[in-house]
Structure 1
């Protein structure tokens, strides 16, 4: 097991989150048992933070992996930090708690550590959770008031079903809408967004830091997924500047990119089910990027968004029309 302790980020509600986690979204067709083994291996390597979602379709295996390592004494439940999400088809206030209860039943856990609104956009409830990849299948928009949904999130926290609550893919105006709710009891502890050197989210990060909201970066290594990368989009890990900085520190480009984020105070959840890469992604706490190197990496920003859900640009709450 890794001897490197997890760095914890304090949350505004008094809880804390490991700054480095493992994303559990699996590309392509599922191989039965693959996620179970990946989660078990990750816990052995030292991961304690797991980012999942009902829509990923593998929360049952994530839960099985976690429970297996609790059962064999490797970890206790309180050692694990699990994030679940309210999908767009569950964003109606009447369905939010049902979404959480479904996640808990699938995981076979009594509570989740963090539950977040996956997107500020609502879709009409449907049997198929995911959204279509083309226009051949009709998307039915539902203009949900996410502030009303937030009130249900607060009640779930009060009921002990979740320790902390937050949001994902919200722009600063949408965050401000929640923060200015007159009856707000708990503000979002985090905003999970795409964040990497080609989309450094500098303005959104500063806004969140001013409001004691942790920015959690998904796709921190960019993405090679053909579903998300156009032929014109450069591959982040091929960047020569990042490679040169990595050579100086005898680190991989991925390690440099992750180190850059944690030095900014951004929590990161890289995805990999490969034990070797999972181990490498944790080896980022034994070196430091200089102020000059941080400035150079900041300068790589191109505002490239690999995950933009363009099929929903007509939604009234589509978050990416604003600058940040």
Structure 2
């Protein structure tokens, strides 16, 4: 079986590589080198966001690989996300313009509303804003018409919020993608299946549960040390990370995985030359304990908080 990364057909007609390099956490050095390495390895999907503050490194790395003749701009699928401070309809285009400037490109392939929650900047922390994400979406639709985004989608929305968006009259575009936290400890099966039935592709972030036993001061379970996953990994002579990433692909979802390690970037790419049995898929799916790591508790009291 060849290790060819599949592409997912979006409801816009565009194709999206189902495996991508995530670039969250700008505090870690090495994003620029990681993107260059990933492109050399064969990754053709890079995921970033305005709030990550990694867009400039992504843009510099992609531009360098284009200048070297390794890829063309059309070869690289770039996803970025609207910052929560740009939800006002008059600010949406401003938010994307800042991202495009840092990414050194005239368009992005997929532009996601990072959260349904709108924020205002404050001297200390953030303040709630009551901008309705439906109004933000209408402004994002104009970015497609202007050729600045080839497709638009959403991230961190719950089921009711997705349904409300789909049921709103007068909208021009259906979301092309929903990006959510998804791994064997939070399978999000109901939401995933609903979106796929509606023609909305689904992307997993944090597919490896951060790979830690403690996250932001809270004890967590590490999927890479789970007995079920490690047993399946041994049976296939693979790493636990490869098994979890393969599990995600076989569910019909795309997956963004972050690493600045060259060896792990290469390892994570080798997930299409083996497959899991139905029994293995079910055993891993049954690990679900709804362990959500990305909660943004500081927004819990704000309008449209999804969790």
TM-score, normalised to structure 1, is 0.91
Please name the residue that 2:200 is paired with: 213
CA RMSD of aligned residues (A): 1.6
Please name the residue that 2:173 is paired with: 186
Please name the residue that 1:173 is paired with: 160
Please name the residue that 1:122 is paired with: 118
Please name the residue that 2:50 is paired with: 54
Quick one: which of 253, 268, 271 aligns to 1:266?
A: 253
Cα deviation for residue 45 of structure 1 reads: 0.3
Cα deviation for residue 60 of structure 1 reads: 0.8
Please name the residue that 2:277 is paired with: 290
| Segment of structure 1 superposing worse, 204-213 or 118-127 | 118-127
Establish whether residue 11 from structure 1 lines up as the match of residue 7 from structure 2: no
Cα deviation for residue 201 of structure 1 reads: 0.5
Specify whether residues 226 and 149 from structure 1 end up closer, same or farther in structure 2 by C-alpha distance, changes over 3 A only: farther
Quick one: which of 30, 34, 40 aligns to 1:38?
A: 34
Quick one: which of 141, 159, 182 aligns to 1:195?
A: 182
- 1:217-251 per-residue CA deviation (whole Å, 9 max, x = no partner) reads 00001114688354432111111110000000000
**Distance in 2 between residues matched to 1:255 and 1:72, nearest whole Å:** 30
Aligned ranges 1:68-147 → 2 under 5 Å? 68-125=64-121, 137-147=124-134
- 1:53-85 per-residue CA deviation (whole Å, 9 max, x = no partner) reads 111112111100000010111001100000011
Cα deviation for residue 139 of structure 1 reads: 2.6
Cα deviation for residue 138 of structure 1 reads: 4.0
Establish whether residue 23 from structure 1 lines up as the match of residue 19 from structure 2: no
Unpaired runs of 5+ residues, structure 2, are none
| Segment of structure 1 superposing worse, 219-228 or 88-97 | 219-228
- 1:268-308 per-residue CA deviation (whole Å, 9 max, x = no partner) reads 00100111101111111111100011110111000000111
Please name the residue that 1:132 is paired with: none
Specify whether residues 125 and 90 from structure 1 end up closer, same or farther in structure 2 by C-alpha distance, changes over 3 A only: farther
Specify whether residues 226 and 102 from structure 1 end up closer, same or farther in structure 2 by C-alpha distance, changes over 3 A only: farther
Cα deviation for residue 4 of structure 1 reads: 3.7
**Distance in 2 between residues matched to 1:146 and 1:230, nearest whole Å:** 31
**Distance in 1 between residues matched to 2:129 and 2:215, nearest whole Å:** 24
Count of residues paired in the alignment: 306
Cα deviation for residue 23 of structure 1 reads: 0.1
| Segment of structure 1 superposing worse, 308-317 or 184-193 | 308-317
**Distance in 2 between residues matched to 1:4 and 1:239, nearest whole Å:** 25
**Distance in 2 between residues matched to 1:10 and 1:206, nearest whole Å:** 16
| Segment of structure 1 superposing worse, 227-236 or 183-192 | 227-236
**Distance in 2 between residues matched to 1:231 and 1:124, nearest whole Å:** 27
Unpaired runs of 5+ residues, structure 1, are 128-136
- 1:180-214 per-residue CA deviation (whole Å, 9 max, x = no partner) reads 12111110011100000000011011111110111
Quick one: which of 252, 266, 288 aligns to 1:279?
A: 266
